[in-house]
Structure 1
Amino acid sequence: MNYRLLSTLLGATLLSAGLTACSSPGDQSDGTVDGKKTVLDVWLMRDSVSAAFQKEFEAGFEKAHPGIDLKIQIQEWDGIGEKVTAALASNDAPDVIEVGNTQVAQYAQSGGLTDFTSRVAELGGSNWLKGLAEPGVYDGKQYGIPYYAANRVVVYRTDLFGKAGVDAGEIKTRDQWIAATKKLNKGGGQGIYLPGQNWYALSGFIWDEGGDLAVKAGGKWQGALDSPEALRAMDFYGRLQALGKGPKDSDEAEPPQAEVMAKGQVAQIISTPGGANVVVQSNPDLRGKLGFFPIPGKTAQAPGAVFTGGSDLVVPAVAAHQEQAFTFIKELTGDAWQKKLAAAMSYVPNKKTLAGAVSADPGTAAMAVGAANGHATPNTPQWAAVEAKNPVKEYMTAVLTGGNEEEAAAKASKTITTTLNSGS
């Protein structure tokens, strides 16, 4: 999945934290051979790190591991799939590659990635975010190591909430969210802008209900939009969507929902926190008037489930420096550097135990709460083909425009089933 836009929206701040080395000089993984340093080639993606973070990490890493000469190359998201596939099939692959979390299965299927299953505990895997860790697994083996996460929250107008007498801090459940949005609709306001095809939001509601987009049984995938759980989720989505004036036949990009919020009296959108920056850029008068809260859950005991976007780190099976690559991954995904990355880039760290690292940033803090209940799309290389057709969007529009919900769900599920099993 392409996360360039997601990453860009999240924004960046300058790195201010100091260096904390996780290993000491002379580590056996440093790789000096006959007095020569090991050159470690790493591909990181555009907007994954700031220039300041990259410079400080490279310096700190090489000081801690004097036998390694770290060479980080920044790659563009456009066309990266073909480039990674070619690298994995070559004899000259980089040692470490950053990939979108939902891309891991695609690359692991070919047998081109190193299996880290036996080293998960060493990397603190028991605390990894589920939405990053699970997509990194293929056929029961851990190939992708969680790097950073990002997800959607509710971005809201603090002035409109105040005018309506709504306290965002008290919205913990879906029912409370519906009640608050109804209040926000009074006086000519628009309680929420929610387009009809925001399938990421619908996915969260489906997971809250205990369902999924597709399930695997007996070695075969089965689309699950026609399950009772998914139907209940779509019913809630319809109720929420009806409280605004969002189009029923397009997603949040058509028109750009942040621009819609900037122009009128829209009180809420579901977006990454960086969406607030776009709102303010379009309408500077809204600076200081935007806030964030996690998408509410079905009950107050847990935040709403969210789709976890972000990246994992993988090592090509043909990479020449396997142990040094593991050392790099252990450093960058370790607690010390994860805290610094979160501060520098406004990302959610890869472990649930590190959520406090972003407490000073309201948008990222709201993301971190939701990330604890994060999920990913069905873990199969064929899911990309489902997104290309996107029967989920077609299903949502059909229901919202008065179509038979069960028939539309069955049709979409059948398409998902056929697509997911086409490569098996």
Structure 2
Amino acid sequence: MRVGGLAVKSTVRTAASLAALALTGTLLAGCAPSTSGGGPQKDEKSGTVRVWLFREVGNKPKEDVVRRVVRKFEKRHDDVRVDVQYIPVDSRAEKIKGAFNDPASAPDLIEYGNTDTAGYVEDGGLADVSAEFADWPEAREVDPTARKSVTVGGKVYGAPFFVGVRALYYRTDVFRDLGIEPPRTLDEVAAAARRIRAERPGMYGIAVGGAYTYGALPFIWAHGGELATKKDGTLRAAVDSARARRGIAAYTRLFGDDNCPAAKCAEMSGNDNVEAFAAGKAGMVVAGDFNRRAMEDGRVDGDYDVVPLPGTERGSIAPAFAGGNNIGVLKSSSHRTLAVELMRELAGKATQRQLFDAMGFLPTFTDTREQAAREEPFVEPFVETLDAGTEFVPATPAWAEIDASLVLPTMFQKIAGKKSGVDGAAGEAARKMDEAFAE
């Protein structure tokens, strides 16, 4: 799924957490699975500890870091073997739902997106590790916003793994050749995209995706729109408000032959966008700090730079989704003690620093992140984005259903494919969101 002396300070304005991302598709809300009643009957100190982590674009560096952690863990525990599997991010919903419903085949530890927390807790899949988290010395340095990402109802259900926000990657060689300056407003982003497409018809000006929810949301927020509002404790969809519709229109106007043809781009996800840019097929892309390795391993290495995605006015920054991933112990685990220990190792300072060096994942520990920011100028635009203020999705288990049902991607795709206008598609999305909120 990266954000100078730079002080790394998040000003997230919502009760949520920091990732990845580029994360779509989450656990379907519904009947509580079998793991919701009671916990495991035993806490084995030997055997196989199973771990599911997300497969990233360019996953090998992540695998190398995890392999070193696992090797040390196994050396400390002679009778323990750790089995790590990497699962696709986009299709994790059903796989993890299946694990919650079938403890016999479930892992002991999972990596999960911060948008998943409330839904997974609601469905009884995650173990309450509040006591173990409180006793973990390193937890005292966890970013307060990251701590919220694992907290539901005052209880802790995992450890923050990394924080991520998205910014604007652009091709320095293409911009130089065409005499284009880095855009300072969203309108300038659109103008630069169309100029690139006109001059380089084999490229997308800016890669966009109808299935790239977290790349699209900054356009809504930059125009003053919201996903939902709460009144008297009740959430109501707001994607059909006038300001939200202006942001939706700004994003969906980027789908077309003059930038990113809808026939192809309407189906593209966040990973598809990253891969297109890394392969040299796009002049710009909204991507995360966590996508740096994919760029460096691609054809654009040495020919790109990053700036905050601008807002509607010069000098402003479009609010980014406060992304990030966590690691949690499943309630069904029969190796709770070992799983908690391994969770701390995987989410600890040493591992987070190694993942920053290998993948560009921003640490969730304030001191570790400040050190990384001082040593690596690349993170500056992501830190600026964090400091400018980020946003989050509605903090409710209902978001799992909304996300997994592809309510927002369907809205973007209908507009991009000219199957519906902005007003109609936004109204339909709002109705579906309200139905989920009411359940």
- 1:393-422 superposed Cα distances (whole Å, 9 cap, x missing partner): 34335555495533432222001111343x
* 1:84 equivalent in alignment to 2:92: no
Superimposed CA distance per residue, residues 167-200 of structure 1 (whole angstroms, 9 cap, x where no aligned partner) = 43xx454355456556656756664343556432
* Residues 197, 248 of structure 1: 8 Å contact kept: no
CA distance in 2, matches of 1:167, 1:329: 45
Listed as ranges, the matches of 1:253-292 within 5 Å are: 253=269, 256-257=272-273, 266-272=282-288, 274=291, 277=294, 288-292=302-306
Aligned twin of 2:237? 223
Amino acid at match of 1:380: T
For the pair 1:156 / 2:173, whether they are aligned, the reply is: no
Q: Which has the larger radius of gyration?
A: 1
- Asked whether the 8 Å contact 2:164–2:322 carries over to 1, the reply is yes
What SS is found at the alignment partner of 2:206?
A: coil
Question: Relative to structure 1, is the Cα distance of residues 324 and 155 closer, same or farther in structure 2, using a 3 angstrom cutoff?
Answer: same
| 1:145 maps onto 2:159 in alignment | yes
Higher relative contact order (CA 8 A, sep 6+): 2
Residue 85 (structure 2) aligned to one of 75, 78, 99: 75
Match of residue 434 from structure 2: 417
Quickly say closer, same or farther: Cα 1:322–1:232, change in 2 above 3 A.
same
Structure 2 letter corresponding to 1:405: V
Partner residue in 2 for 1:391: 407
Given that 1:355 and 1:365 are in contact with CA atoms closer than 8 Å, whether structure 2 keeps it comes out as no
* Partner of residue 113, structure 1: 126
Which shifted more, 286-295 or 253-262?
253-262
Q: Contact 1:150 / 1:309 at 8 angstroms: preserved in 2?
A: yes
Unpaired runs of 5+ residues, structure 2, are: 2-18, 24-42
**Which residue is equivalent to 2:116?**
103
Aligned mates of 1:218, 1:53 — CA distance in 2: 47
Q: Offset of 1:147 from its aligned partner?
A: 0.8
Q: Distance in 2 between the 1:263 and 1:276 partners?
A: 13
List per-residue Cα deviations over 1:353-406 (Å, max 9, x = no partner). Answer: 516526777776655654665544333344343234433234335555495533
Aligned to 1:17: none
Contact 1:214/1:378, CA 8 A, preserved across alignment: yes
For residues 293 and 213 of structure 1, do their structure 2 counterparts lie closer, same or farther at Cα, with a shift above 3 Å needed? Answer: same
Query: Which secondary structure state, in structure 2, belongs to the residue aligned with residue 252 of structure 1?
Result: coil
Report the 3-state secondary structure (helix = DSSP H, G, I; strand = E; otherwise coil) of the residue aligned with 2:161. strand
Distance 1:39 1:255 in 2: 35
Instruction: Note if 1:233 corresponds to 2:247.
Output: yes
Residue 43 of structure 1 pairs with residue 51 of structure 2: yes
Code of the aligned partner of 2:401: A
Pick closer, same or farther for the CA change 1:60–1:199 going to 2, 3 Å.
closer
8 Å contact kept, 2:215–2:287: no
2:286 partner amino acid: I
Of 349, 374, 378 in structure 2, the residue corresponding to residue 335 of structure 1 is 349
Q: Is the 8 A contact 2:267 2:413 kept in 1?
A: no
Residues in 2 aligned to 1:313 and 1:375: alpha-carbon distance in whole angstroms: 22
Question: How far apart in 1 are the matches of 2:179 and 2:247?
Answer: 28
Identify the range of structure 1 (303-312 vs 185-194) with the bigger mean alpha-carbon deviation.
185-194
In structure 2, distance between residues paired with 1:280 and 1:38: 39
Offset of residue 73 of structure 1: 1.8
2:95 partner amino acid: I
Q: In structure 1, what residue type is equivalent to 2:372?
A: A
By how many angstroms is 1:162 displaced?
Answer: 0.8
Percent identical among aligned pairs is 24
Aligned residue for 1:292, secondary structure, equals strand
Partner of residue 128, structure 1: 143
Whole-Å separation in 1 of the counterparts to 2:64 and 2:281: 38
Assess, with a 3 A threshold, how the Cα gap between structure 1 residues 94 and 409 changes in structure 2: closer, same or farther.
closer
CA distances 1:34-72 after superposition (whole Å, capped 9, x unpaired): xx9766835142547744323432354577xx5786642
Structure 2 counterpart of 1:393, which letter?
A: P
Partners of 2:223 and 2:247 within 8 A in 1 = yes
Matched, 1:405 2:422: yes
* Partner Cα distance (2:317, 2:80) in 1: 40
Q: In structure 1, what is the equivalent of residue 16 of structure 2?
A: none
> Do the aligned residues in 2 keep the contact of 1:97 with 1:315 (CA within 8 Å)?
yes
Per-residue deviation, 1:103? 2.7
For the 8 Å contact 1:214–1:221, the answer to whether it is kept is yes
The residue aligned with 1:252 is 268
136 and 237 in structure 1: CA distance in 2 versus 1, 3 angstrom threshold: same
> 1:308 Cα deviation (Å)?
4.8
> 8 Å contact 2:398–2:436 — kept in the other structure?
yes
Residues 83 and 125 from structure 1, CA distance in 2 versus in 1: closer, same or farther, beyond 3 angstroms?
farther
Q: Indicate the residue corresponding to 1:174 in structure 2.
A: 186
Give the structure-2-normalised TM-score.
0.67
Looking at structure 2, the residues matched to 306 and 97 of structure 1 have their Cα atoms a distance apart, in angstroms, of 25
Shift of 1:314: 1.5
Q: Which amino acid aligns with 1:267?
A: G
Q: Tell me which of 194, 199, 215 is aligned to 1:201.
A: 215
With over 3 angstroms needed to count, the CA separation of the structure-2 counterparts of 1:61 and 1:383, relative to structure 1, is same
The match for 1:192 among 200, 206, 211 is: 206
Residues 244 and 124 (structure 1 numbering): CA distance in 2 closer, same or farther, change over 3 Å? farther
Q: Structure 1 residues 243, 142: CA separation in 2 closer, same or farther (over 3 Å shift)?
A: farther
Contact 1:172–1:300, Cα closer than 8 Å, also in 2: yes
Higher mean C-alpha displacement, 216-225 vs 121-130: 121-130
Instruction: Tell whether the 8 Å contact from 2:352 to 2:363 is kept in structure 1 after alignment.
Output: yes
